[in-house]
Structure 1
C-alpha cells in the first residue's frame, strides 16, 4: 500500500476532484454523478472523479491510498461508496476546487476500483464553514486498486447529507456516452467553424462593399477587372447606370469618354491621333500606331513623347496618391482610347470613363461625370427612380 496524502485539503462548495488528462471543460455533479446509485463520488466522466464533502468551505481531513489489491473494509467509517475509474493518462491528480493545490497519485492507466469513505458529514454540513483553528468536523479516505470496471454502489450510508446526495444522483439523467460526447464536440466545432466562416465572409463582403463605393457589385461587375472598381469609387450610381445599358450604348459612352479625355489633353487634333479617334467611333480597327496592342502600344508612347506638338500639362491624381501629387494629363488620357475598343462593351465604357476622369484630375473629374449624366440624362433619371439602379438603357 502507498499513501499519497495524509493530512488536510481545502474544499469549497462541498467538492474537490480527481483529474486525469482533462480538457478545458468544467464538469459538475450533474455531469459526473448522473444515473449513479451514489452521489458522493461521481465517476461517469472518463478520467474524472467528482468528490462531495459535508463541509461547504474549509479544511477537511483527507487520506489517499493506492493498493495492489482490494483492501479490507474498515467498519468505523460512516459512509462508504465504490466506483470504477480508469486514468486517461499516467498523470492523475487530486485537485482542490478552483485549481488550488494538487497532489499527484502516480496511478497506472488501467481500470481501478475506488472506495470513498467519510465520517462526520452531518456535523460538517451543519457547521458549513471551518476556520482554523476550529476542530476538524469531517474526514475522508480515498482508496484505489486495480480491478475490472463495475457499477457504482453504496456500501454504507448513515448520514442525512449523504442520503440527500445519493438521492440527487439517482434523479439525474445519465450523462452522454463518450461517443455521444465526442459527436457533440464535433458538432460544436463544426458550428464554430461555420460561424467563423460566416464572419470571414461578412468581413470580405464589407471590404468589397467599401471597395465598390458602398454597395456590392453584381456578378457581372465583379468579374470585369480593369478599372471597374476604381470607377465605382468615383461614382457608384453611374457605374450601375452604365452596367444596365445596352452594349451599343456602352460602346458609345466609351468613345465619348475617350474623345473628352483627348480633347482636354490637347491630343484630339494631332494628325496621327485624330484618325484613331474616328476609327473607334465607327467601330473600325485602330490605325497605326494604335494597332500595336501586342507590344503594349509601345509605338504610341514612343511617338507621344517624341512629338514636340504634344502639350505637357499636369493634373492631381484621382486616387489621392500624395507621393505623386501631379500626373501627366496626356499620359492619363491616352489609355481612354485603348479602353474604348476593348472587346467587352461594359469594360470599354468603365475603363474609358475612368481614364478620362484621370485626365481631368482630382479637382475636375466631377465635372466630367456630371457631363456624362447630362449627356445620358434619360437613362440616369430612370435609374434614380429604382432602388437597385437597373435602367433599361443609356441613350447616346
Structure 2
C-alpha cells in the first residue's frame, strides 16, 4: 500500500451465529476458543494474539459488514454508528480474514499495510438493539491500521447491547 491508502471490503450478508464473528490472522489455524473475560476488555470486541472475537447484536442471521484496511488512522465515523470501540491487535503474518461462526465461511481481506506487527482495531456498530432476523438491520465497520500496542477505548456508546457487555466486564 502506498501512503494514505485504504482498501475496503463490503460483505453484504455476513452470517452470524451465537452473536459473533471473528477476525483471524493467517498464522492461526482458526478462531478457536476465547478464554474468560480478557484483561483489557472493550465490550463488543476481544482480542488474543492473531485473532479477535467481534460480537454483534443478532443471535443468528445476517448482518452487513465492512472492513477498511488503512495505512494510518482513518478516523472514526462518529455520526454513522451508535457504538464505537477500539483495541490493539497483534498480527503475526500481516494477513487476516473475517470468519463466520464455526468456520462456515472465511472472507479474505486485503493484506495489512505494514505486514506482521501491531495494529489498532476500531469496531463500529449500528442497529445492535434491533431484533429482526429476516432483514439486514445491523451494520458493522471494522477499521484496521498500524499502531503501537495500546489498550481498549470506548469512543461512543448508545446501544443497550454494548452497555450490557461493558457492565458484564466491569463486574468480573
- Check conservation: 2:30, 2:103, Cα contact below 8 A: no
Equivalent residue number for residue 150 of structure 1: 150
Distance in 1, Cα, partners of 2:127 & 2:35:
21
**Is 1:36–1:169's contact at 8 Å kept on the other side of the alignment?**
no
Calculate the TM-score normalised by the size of structure 1.
0.39
SS at match of 1:86: strand
Q: CA RMSD in A?
A: 1.8
Larger strand proportion of the pair: 2
Q: Which has the larger radius of gyration?
A: 1
Report deviation, 1:36.
Answer: 2.7
Q: Report SS of the residue matched to 2:165.
A: helix
Distance 1:25 1:74, change over 3 A: closer
Aligned to 1:345: none
Q: Which protein is richer in helix relative to its size? A: 1
2:107 equivalent in structure 1: 103
Matched, 1:121 2:124: no
User: Structure 1 residues 61 and 84 mapped into 2: Cα distance closer, same or farther (>3 Å)?
Assistant: same
2:76 aligns to what SS in structure 1?
coil
Equivalent position of 2:3 in the other structure: none
Equivalence for 1:63: 66
* 2:116 maps to 1:112: no
Question: Where do residues 1-396 of structure 1 align in structure 2 (5 Å cutoff)?
Answer: 1-20=6-25, 21-23=27-29, 26-28=32-34, 30=36, 33-43=37-47, 45-75=48-78, 76-105=80-109, 106-107=111-112, 108-124=115-131, 127=132, 130=133, 134-172=134-172
| 2:42 and 2:166 in contact (8 A); partners too | yes
The count of aligned residue pairs is 162
Q: State the Cα distance separating 1:89 from its structure 2 match.
A: 1.5
* Structure 1 runs not aligned, ≥5 long: 173-396
Give TM-score scaled by structure 2 length.
0.86
- 1:270-322: CA deviation from partner (whole Å, max 9, x where unpaired): xxxxxxxxxxxxxxxxxxxxxxxxxxxxxxxxxxxxxxxxxxxxxxxxxxxxx
